[in-house]
Amino acid sequence: MGLADLHIHTVYSYDGTASVPDVLARAKQIGLDVIAITDHDQIIGALKAFEMAPEFGIEVIPGIEITTAEGDLLALFVTQKIKPGRWLIETILDVGEAGGICIAPHPMARGTGMRSLSAPAILRALDHPVAGRILIGIETYNATVLDRESNLHAQKLWAECPGIAQVGNSDAHILQAIGLGTTEFLGNTAAHLLDALWIGATDVRQGEPMNSAQILGNWAVNFVRKSRIT
């Protein structure tokens, strides 16, 4: 089985702390086959990672975590910036035109700074005749979300959506979190992963959880260090 972490941030996110080379090295070290770089409304880090990936022996899917008017949305397999701030279905259609697919990250999660899609918004998109073919997955496990109950809500929502892929991710903003949530799939390449996502043949693997104090404490230390460097 292959392992993928499809929700990772770098220093190109306003709240990311890890450099692209460090992310790639860490992902390889812990045995991931595929990762996606999904910085907030930015594509630069993802494209750099895609170019550098062969040096590290890992596959990178370029992506973005897009801020929509209704909450955050993961776009994968895109190589151009997608305009933020638009309605969810409009954004999904933009991603489709750019050749990408979408995942709903940390659905219904609450907390400071969280911009999560509601269940009704996701269901409306899935019912759309075009957007429903582009939004193909729900993040049912987010390893670093502070609202842990939201993972349970996401799992229940996914169970009501036959044929939709379930995805486990770290949502890492620090190196230590990479791989704490992963997606299992048959094969070991990005192409195999995409095939599995299309047919909903993915599974979720949960790593050793970090508690809220660990997540926030590690992030704060790394963010200060990043600020001093930049």
Can you give the pTM of this predicted structure?
A: 0.92
Find where tokens 């992310």 sit: 23
For 34-42, what is the mean pLDDT? 98
Q: Which residues, 6+ apart, have CB-to-CB distance to 170 below 8 Å?
A: 5, 7, 8, 142, 143, 144, 177, 178, 179, 180, 181, 182, 207
Q: pLDDT tens across 118-157, in order?
A: 999 999 999 999 999 999 999 999 999 988 899 999 999 9
Q: Sorting pLDDT into bands at 50, 70 and 90, what band is 224? A: low
Cβ proximity of 61 and 74 under 8 Å: no
Q: Sorting pLDDT into bands at 50, 70 and 90, what band is 175? A: very high
Number of folded domains that form the chain: 1
* Beta-bridge partners for 62: 37
Find where tokens 């043949």 sit: 201
Among 121, 218, 108, smallest CA distance to 173 is for 218
Host domain of residue 135: 2-229
C-alpha 229/C-alpha 194 separation (Å) is 37
With pLDDT > 70 as the criterion, what percentage of the chain qualifies?
94
Catalogue the E-assigned strands of the chain.
Answer: 2-8, 34-40, 59-68, 71-76, 101-104, 135-142, 165-169, 181-185, 203-206
Identify residue 160 by its one-letter amino acid code: E
Cβ proximity of 135 and 123 under 8 Å: no
CATH code for position 179: 3.20.20.140
